[in-house]
């Protein structure tokens, strides 16, 4: 199906939904009681998404925020509240009906928030050709929209172009555990359902890295639908456009604390738990970002750790037999590869079948933020407990 035809069909369907009130797309978790206090019902009833990227403590006062695929404006208006009157919010959308509703309600929201004038503007445009100047955006948000774009690499490139050095994104979207087959890719109705255009988690993150973003990691995930054996699930991801020419730092070494026993960062550097690794100022800048901070100690001199040090972290599986119940783990960064203490190797975005003991490990505090878990079993599994390997190691 030609790209222009896909975009037009998606736009037409969302315009119809705005007129009819049809419920579209994906799972959301908006706090409607909170939003109703300042956003008109006309906006709330046409709000579609698969997450709450503006409501996850990602927006700071005074920032310039861009919402890709702003629809009726719900996420823009929440961002407007969070950036305050000194901040600025830009929403872009390709559907005139949605833009009309958003623009009409913008002064109402501003008044409800006590602002002298609205700090939100809505522009007509496509996600792969944004009407936004280079290097001007502190935070990019998007809610279940990029999967609707036929050429996602163009979208990721546009995101990197408009983000300031030191800027970031927090986006919610639908991804799949396997490549979407052609019969779904060419089903125009499934595009509007956030299915046909879904990338695998691996390809989604790879597209962002290819555009230049680093430190890409999972904020939250939830299952959505299973269609013909394909698992579609919602993810919210964050990543960074690092500052150009980071300043020299006194930190020259990074020591992995755990709980992973080994990791590989997005620049290809391997770290072994407890062993200091020489790092460049650029890598110090990367490892100083939020998703890495809990896993590393940065130091000016080599600093080694062992299991007796309180800063060393590890989670070991129970020494018991395990069950296979159909669970698969999808590692979602911020590393491209990581290993645990039971010889599992996790590659970012690739589903790995895990047993009940490993599931318990991955649900612990140190691991859970980095994994999406799906279950491919089509029925209740009742297999007997097994010992995974002769030496007692799992899986």
Interval 309-354: pLDDT, tens: 999 999 999 888 888 999 999 999 899 999 999 999 999 999 999 9
Return the pLDDT at 375: 92
Burial class (CB in 10 A: 0-12, 13-18, 19+), 175: buried
* 168 and 72 assigned to the same domain: yes
Interior/surface letters 69-108, b for 16+ CB within 10 angstroms, e for the rest: bbbbbbbbbbbbbbbebebbbbbbbbbebbbebbeebbeb
Residue 271: give its domain's CATH number.
3.40.5.100
Residue 130: give its domain's CATH number.
3.40.50.150
* Residue that is written with structure tokens 């100083």 in the block: 288
Q: Alpha-carbon distance 79 to 65, whole Å?
A: 7
* 350 and 310 assigned to the same domain: no
* 147 and 283 assigned to the same domain: no
* 252 and 150 assigned to the same domain: no
- Domain count within the chain: 3
Last residue of a domain, one of 193, 210, 240: 240
The C-alpha angle 165, 131, 52, rounded to 5 degrees, equals 70
* 37 and 152 assigned to the same domain: yes
Interval 190-241: pLDDT, tens: 655 667 788 999 999 999 999 999 999 999 998 888 888 899 999 999 999 9
Query: What would the two tokens of residue 372 be?
Result: 């999406």
* 331 and 349 assigned to the same domain: yes
Question: Are 176 and 232 spatial neighbours (Cβ–Cβ below 8 Å)?
Answer: yes
The candidate with the shortest Cα–Cα distance to 268, out of 279, 281, 255, is: 279
* 251 and 337 assigned to the same domain: no
Residue 153 half-sphere exposure toward CB, CA atoms < 13 A:
5
Last residue of a domain, one of 240, 267, 291: 240
* 121 and 267 assigned to the same domain: no
pLDDT greater than 80 at residue 20: no
pLDDT greater than 60 at residue 392: no
* 172 and 37 assigned to the same domain: yes
* 293 and 374 assigned to the same domain: no
Question: Which residues form the domain of 98?
Answer: 3-240
* 188 and 307 assigned to the same domain: no
The candidate with the shortest Cα–Cα distance to 342, out of 264, 237, 256, 260, is: 260
33 contacts: CB under 8 Å, gap ≥ 6:
none
What is the model's pTM?
A: 0.89
* 324 and 310 assigned to the same domain: no
């Amino acid at each position: 199906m030609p790209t222009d035809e896909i975009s037009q069909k998606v736009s037409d369907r969302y315009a119809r939904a705005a007129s009819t009130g049809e419920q579209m797309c994906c799972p959301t978790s908006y706090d409607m009681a909170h939003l109703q206090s300042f956003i008109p019902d006309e906006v709330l009833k046409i709000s579609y998404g698969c997450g709450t990227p503006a409501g996850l403590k990602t927006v700071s006062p005074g920032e310039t925020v861009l919402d890709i695929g702003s629809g009726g404006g719900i996420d823009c208006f929440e961002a407007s509240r969070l950036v305050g009157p000194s901040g600025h919010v830009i929403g872009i959308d390709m559907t005139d009906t949605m833009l009309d509703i958003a623009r009409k309600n913008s002064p109402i929201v501003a008044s409800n928030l006590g602002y002298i004038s609205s700090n939100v503007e809505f522009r007509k445009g496509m996600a792969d050709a944004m009407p936004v100047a280079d290097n001007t955006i502190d935070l990019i948000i998007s809610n279940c929209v990029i999967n609707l774009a036929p050429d996602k690499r163009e979208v990721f490139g546009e995101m990197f172009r408009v983000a300031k050095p030191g800027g970031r994104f927090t986006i919610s979207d639908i991804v799949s555990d396997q490549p979407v087959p052609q019969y779904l890719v060419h089903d125009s109705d499934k595009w509007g359902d956030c299915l046909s255009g879904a990338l695998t988690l691996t390809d989604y993150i790879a597209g962002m890295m290819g555009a230049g973003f680093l430190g890409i990691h999972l904020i939250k995930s939830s299952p959505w639908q299973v269609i013909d054996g394909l698992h579609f699930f919602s993810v919210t991801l964050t990543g960074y456009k690092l500052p150009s020419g980071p300043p020299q730092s006194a930190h020259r070494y990074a020591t992995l604390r755990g709980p992973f026993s080994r990791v590989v960062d997005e620049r290809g550097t391997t770290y072994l738990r407890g062993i200091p690794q020489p790092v460049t100022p650029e890598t110090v800048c990367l490892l100083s970002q939020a998703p890495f901070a809990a896993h590393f100690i940065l130091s000016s001199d080599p600093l080694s750790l062992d299991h007796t040090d309180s800063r060393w972290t590890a989670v070991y599986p129970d020494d018991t037999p395990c069950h296979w119940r159909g669970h698969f783990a999808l590692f979602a960064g911020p590393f491209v590869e990581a290993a645990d203490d039971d010889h599992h190797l996790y590659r970012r975005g690739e589903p790995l079948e895990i047993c009940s003991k490993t599931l318990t490990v991955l649900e612990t505090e140190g691991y859970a933020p980095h994994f999406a878990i799906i279950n491919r079993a089509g029925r209740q599994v009742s297999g007997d407990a097994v010992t995974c390997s002769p030496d007692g190691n799992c899986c």
